[in-house]
Amino acid sequence: MSATTSIPKQHFKILDLLRGIAALSVVMFHFSGSALPTIKPNSVTDFFSYGKLGVQVFFVISGFIIPYSMYASGYKISGAWNFIIKRLARIGPPSWIALIFLFVIYYGAIAMNGRPIEGMPWPGIDVKTILANLTYSYSFLNAGLYNEVYWTLEIEFQYYVIIAFLLPFIIQSSSNTIYLSGVFLALNATWFVHNNEVLFFRDNIFFLMGVLLFLYKTKHVNGGYFLIASLVMAILCYWQQGLENTIAALIAWFAIAYITFQNPVTTFLGTISYSLYITHHATGISAEFILRNLTGMSPPEPLRTIMVFVYAGCAIVFAWLFYLAVEKPFIRFSQIISSKIKK
């Protein structure tokens, strides 16, 4: 079953802005709030508490751009495993290398101070935990996280597997709006059976909003169906996920649908967004360790607030270096693997 004939792949400039803002929002949420004991409380904790909503923005983006890229390349279901391997090669090695930094930081602190860094989560090094962190199966194996943001990678990878096998069927169903509506409702109905262990089921509405947008952008559904289905999905999102998450998802949805914007700053942040997302935890913990060892004290306000932004700047610089040294080569590597498998 083919997804249809390939089309020229379009670059959606707004995605750079959305990815950059989403990643930076999550960074500021963690740095100003939960992650770094030395610089909290601070005066920006409440303001950046909404930064956690960057995760929902990422989900909507993935819901849209993954099927769009598959469709643009003439995806067929026979290439499902090729697609899954390519995605694993794309997101896996950078996330694994980022984990190595956390191991170095954790055991380095113990070697230097005789104890781990305060506030640094550590689930242990048993086989189950390591396997879960390498395969994005934390909830299935009931294992802890070395990096607190990696729970979202588990959801993303579940989505990759599902879309790899369902995309051709979704596109085929789009020729009949009743069938298509049934497919969307059936997928969303998995929310009723989730138990927080099959995480895609819990958060499926964000991805489905992106998939609907993909069908609209590729002219598989008309404007009338798109608006009605979007309204239904917005209501379902509010019911299942609450007001804040729905607003974040709708902002991303609206931006992708109707806004074109790009400048060098947003392009840069969008480019390094994945590296920033998976390394900022290590950067923040390292900065925390250095601050404590150099000063031996917790800074007073307003210095704590200033340090939030200093740490964020450090995270951006490190993410840029990580992107150049690690992520960018593995992007090329994933493309090489994909081309060889096709042959």
135-148 confidence digits (pLDDT tens) = 999 888 889 999 98
Residue 4 falls within a domain, yes or no? Answer: no
Can you tell me the mean pLDDT for 331-335? 84
* Residue 63: predicted pLDDT: 98
Residue 9 falls within a domain, yes or no? Answer: no
- State the Cα–Cα distance between residues 254 and 300, nearest whole angstrom: 41
Whether 2 has a pLDDT exceeding 60, the answer reads no
Residue with tokens 């990815």: 19
Question: How much is the mean pLDDT over the chain?
Answer: 90
Structural contact between residues 18 and 267, judged by C-beta atoms closer than 8 angstroms? no
pLDDT bin (cut points 50, 70, 90) of residue 230 is very high
* Residue 323: predicted pLDDT: 98
- State the Cα–Cα distance between residues 42 and 35, nearest whole angstrom: 13
User: Could you tell me the sign of the dihedral formed by the alpha carbons of 183, 188, 191, 197, in that order?
Assistant: positive
- Tell me, what DSSP letter sits at residue 197? S
SS3 275: helix
Structural contact between residues 143 and 123, judged by C-beta atoms closer than 8 angstroms? yes
- Tell me, what DSSP letter sits at residue 149? T
28-37, 123-132, 307-316, range with the lowest pLDDT: 28-37
User: Domain tally for the chain?
Assistant: 1
Question: Residue 2 forms beta bridges with which residues?
Answer: 76
Q: Residue 125, exposed/middle/buried by CB under 10 A (0-12, 13-18, 19+)? A: exposed
Could you give the angle at which helices 151-173 and 54-72 cross, rounded to 10 degrees? 40
* Residue 211: predicted pLDDT: 98
Whether 162 has a pLDDT exceeding 60, the answer reads yes
- State the Cα–Cα distance between residues 40 and 223, nearest whole angstrom: 48
Q: Considering the entire predicted model, what is its pTM?
A: 0.93
* Residue 8: predicted pLDDT: 64
* Residue 290: predicted pLDDT: 81
Can you tell me the mean pLDDT for 129-139? 92
Residue 5 falls within a domain, yes or no? Answer: no
Higher pLDDT: 215 or 262? It is 215
Higher pLDDT: 324 or 200? It is 324
* Residue 341: predicted pLDDT: 56
Could you give the angle at which helices 151-173 and 80-113 cross, rounded to 10 degrees? 170
Whether 282 has a pLDDT exceeding 60, the answer reads yes
Backbone angles phi, psi at 41, to 5 degrees: -75, 155
Question: Residue 76 forms beta bridges with which residues?
Answer: 2
* Residue 342: predicted pLDDT: 57
pLDDT bin (cut points 50, 70, 90) of residue 257 is very high
Higher pLDDT: 298 or 147? It is 147
- Structural domain of 334: 14-342
Q: Count helices and strands (H / E) in the chain.
A: 14, 0
* Residue 299: predicted pLDDT: 75
Structural contact between residues 31 and 175, judged by C-beta atoms closer than 8 angstroms? no
Residue 188 falls within a domain, yes or no? Answer: yes
Residue 316 falls within a domain, yes or no? Answer: yes
pLDDT bin (cut points 50, 70, 90) of residue 1 is very low
Residue 7 falls within a domain, yes or no? Answer: no
Question: What stretch of H or E contains 79?
Answer: none
Residue 196 falls within a domain, yes or no? Answer: yes
User: Could you tell me the sign of the dihedral formed by the alpha carbons of 322, 328, 329, 335, in that order?
Assistant: positive
Structural contact between residues 39 and 297, judged by C-beta atoms closer than 8 angstroms? no
Residue 6 falls within a domain, yes or no? Answer: no
Residue 9, by phi and psi: left (phi above 0), alpha (psi -120 to 50) or beta?
A: beta
